[in-house]
Structure 1
Amino acid sequence: MEEKQSILDGYSDMEKGAYLGAIASIATADSEASQEELDYLSILCNSAGLSDAQKQIVIRAATELTGTELNKCLDVLKNSDLKHSLIADMIAFAKADNEYTQAERKAIQYAAAYLGINDKQFSLLDEFADKATHAEPQQNMGSQGFLSSLGLEDKMRSAGINTGGLLKGILSIAAPLLLSRMFSGGRRRFGGGMLGGGLLAGGLGSLIGMLAGNRGYRRSGGFLGGLFGFK
């Protein structure tokens, strides 16, 4: 039996939520989240091992995450070895519907600057997202050798990019084709009814309820607090 892999393996729900929440913010950078973007985000949630309830909150973030909440997501990852992976994944997500708009690029550049990523690093991460997305699925995408096969390992090390952290999100930028093969049968479309009511009828509130405690942010309490492991 083939071993199932997952993105963000070994990271906390807080980091996963912040990571996917930041990616979700790109869905509305150009004012409208496409169905392709919502489907792709759903695949990422499945790949990260989020529960259905957590997944619905992240999907909802694709239409409701505010600038302040995005900054809080980025604050969680600012000193994380995931920050370079995040920017690459945000780029890949923005391009998933084959329409990489100026608004999306501007939003990702803002996130990169907030995380302290310079122009050279951003350019390499953009190149990485393109090459990894179009790489053959047979390549060992989770290994350090994958970066060498793309001709990017030495360039990234020289630019100060944490290549180890970059590989933690590699499956999320390996294109929907690879993920849908790994998680066949797990894709679900999120129509207006599911996004607009039911479980989340009370509103998103703050996706960043998980940033409580030692992060210094106020708990959202109740529903969101329970989802991300707070008592």
Structure 2
Amino acid sequence: MENTHVLEGYRDQEKGAYLGAVASIATADRAASEEEMQYIVTLCDAAGISAQQKDAVVRAASELSGDELKKCLDILKNSELKYALVTDIIAFAKADNHYAEEEQQKVKEISQYLGVDQNQFSLLNEFTDKAAAKDVPAEEKASPSFLSSLGLNDKLKNAGINSNSLMKGLLGIAGPIILGSIVSGAMRRRGRSTGMLGGMGGLIGGAGLGSIIGMLSGGRGFRNSGGLLGRILGRRF
């Protein structure tokens, strides 16, 4: 599992923008800690991005103005990875089982900013709920057969969503498990602690739909991202 290639098939800039957005939203109200930054850097290595893109991801995890996140979102507007990002944000917002109307509006406005229409958003929301409710081992949620079992392939295709992009993103289904294995293995080889991976809100080993943003946020919750996202979208949440 440690050989899994994260975000395979996407351009370097797309991968950097995706990981930068994830890192920025997860640390929206603060700069990433040293341990979180180690995780982010190792995640970049797992995706095989260039040094230039890695530097951009690190900046996104460090700055609080939202400028780097806006750059990432603007790049993702023209990438299929925007669907995987929206799915991960939905999973993150629902992780505490308290998906308030205010949070729903935030997520919806992020998706609109990315160019995801209402029908696509509804399908991604349905996909998130069905994937979370499916009672199968978490590892199986990373397989194409699991996606087919949800009965949404045709709907996603007709809405212009490539279902493979949700799988390649790895974040909407069992990404925390797969990437947790990649990162923990890399950190062990470097002699680093992997304690953080076991304490990210229980998302790595949970049977539900995981969220990489949730892992990086340390269980702080989606509502902590509101101020940063409000500045980016030009409105107060």
The residue type equivalent to 1:139 in the other structure is E
Residue 112 of structure 1 and its aligned partner are, at CA, apart by: 0.9
Counterpart CA distance in 2 for 1:98 and 1:43 is 29
Which amino acid in structure 2 is aligned with residue 10 of structure 1? G
Shift, 1:150, TM fit: 2.2
In structure 2, distance between residues paired with 1:49 and 1:15? 12
- Give the letter aligned to residue 136 of structure 1: P
Look up the match of 1:177: 177
1:141 is aligned to 142
Q: What's the counterpart of residue 167 of structure 2?
A: 167
Kindly indicate whether the alpha-carbon contact (under 8 Å) linking 1:82 and 1:165 is maintained by their aligned counterparts in 2: yes
Report the TM-score, using the length of structure 1 for normalisation: 0.60
Name the counterpart of 1:75: 74
Identical pairs, percent: 52
CA distance in 2, matches of 1:42, 1:98: 30
Partner of 1:209: none
RMSD: 4.0
Q: Taking structure 2 as the reference length, what is the TM-score of the superposition? A: 0.58
Gapped regions of structure 1 (runs ≥ 5) = 192-231
Partner-residue secondary structure (3-state), 1:185: helix
Decide whether the 8 Å contact of 2:12 with 2:53 is kept in 1: no
Distance of aligned partners of 1:132 and 1:42 in 2 relative to their CA distance in 1, 3 Å threshold: farther
2:19 maps to which residue?
Answer: 20
The superposition leaves residues 88-135 of structure 1 with CA deviations (integer Å, 9 ceiling, x where unpaired) of 133345566878677765543333101221233223223434554675
1:21 and 1:172 map into 2 onto residues whose CA distance is: 16
Deviation at 1:22, TM superposition (A): 1.6
Query: Residue 6 of structure 2 aligns with which residue?
Result: 7
CA distance in 1, matches of 2:161, 2:20: 22
Q: How many residues align?
A: 187
CA distance in 2, matches of 1:181, 1:51: 22
